[in-house]
Amino acid sequence: MGIINLENKDYVLLSLDAAFGQDDVQCVCQRLNIHRGKDWANPKLGSRLYSLKRAKDLKRNVLLAKQYAEEALLDLVPGRFQSIVVNANQRENSRVNLMIDLVPLTGQKQTIQYFVPVGG
């Protein structure tokens, strides 16, 4: 069993006990990494963040990244999470930083830092 390293977006192998602790993080990362429309069973699954990689590095991409992430995580709220809040900023060129605040059904708040490459 493996989890996804958010910095380089690659799998890190762990034991089964450690992998099941980050199930919510993995669910969110998979939703953000899947290209929207590529899943044959559910074309609304995934995000459009991949389209920002080929876009010019403009200030509007911060807002687009936030909207694309919210769109991808929208259907997780009633069933899996109490709330999901996405904040976006750009502190360096060619990279938009997303801060995703998750509140699972258990009530424990968790923050995920996720970056989106822009202007590749």
Residues 49-95: tens digit of each pLDDT: 999 999 888 889 999 999 999 999 999 988 889 999 999 999 988 99
Per the prediction, the chain carries an average pLDDT of 86
Give the model's pLDDT for residue 17: 47
Q: Is 65 exposed, middle or buried (0-12, 13-18, 19+ CB in 10 A)?
A: buried
**CATH of region 2-117:** 3.10.450.40
Distance of alpha carbon 83 from alpha carbon 78, whole angstroms:
8
Q: Which of 74, 25, 23, 10 is nearest to 48 (CA)?
A: 74
Specify which residues 98 forms β-bridges with: 88, 114
Specify which residues 110 forms β-bridges with: 102
User: Are 53 and 68 spatial neighbours (Cβ–Cβ below 8 Å)?
Assistant: no
Provide the whole-model pTM: 0.80
